Amino acid sequence: MGYAGGEVKVSEIDRFYRTLACEAPDAIIYADAEGCIAFWNRAAERIFGYPATEALGKTLDIIIPEKLRARHNRGFAETIGTGRTRYGAGEVLAVPAVHRDGRRLSIEFTILPFRDRAGRILGIAATLRDVTARFEKTKASRSAPA
């Protein structure tokens, strides 16, 4: 394995990946093919208010507003079934989410399907950013009198 500066030991790469996934400033969440959360990093804890110990094993419904769950579940199932999504190639999806305390959040995210050696989807990882403050500021400026 290498990088732009030369050879890197496997243990260094492993530490790099673990640090990147666990300590990234954006939430990184991985859900298996059934939609159960199997990875929840520190930023996900901060953004959504659930410690990993509570989020792991739960469905993504814990962060999805109730009125959007059916739509999300259809899209999730379609991505698992077909392996296709427009949000895996860098296109960002902006959606509402919900914090543990019930507050509404605005998030932007991209997804990355994970496949087995045969190409079947094992689950989906999402990188999510809380853009609530920016969304509220934009909303306020649009509704302010000119």
Reported confidence tier of residue 2, pLDDT bands at 50, 70, 90: very low
The listed range with the strongest mean pLDDT (1-5, 68-72, 79-83, 92-96) is 68-72
CATH of the domain at 89: 3.30.450.20
Question: Considering the domain boundaries, does residue 104 fall inside one?
Answer: yes
Number of CB atoms found within 10 A of residue 130's CB: 19
Question: Considering the domain boundaries, does residue 2 fall inside one?
Answer: no
Which of 36, 49, 112 minimizes the C-alpha distance to 79? Answer: 112
Q: Report the domain count for the chain.
A: 1
Reported confidence tier of residue 35, pLDDT bands at 50, 70, 90: very high
Torsions phi, psi of 91, nearest 5? -70, 130
64-72: long-range contacts at Cβ-Cβ below 8 A with a sequence spacing of 24 or more? 64/97, 64/98, 65/96, 65/97, 65/98, 65/104, 68/95, 68/96
Q: pTM value?
A: 0.84
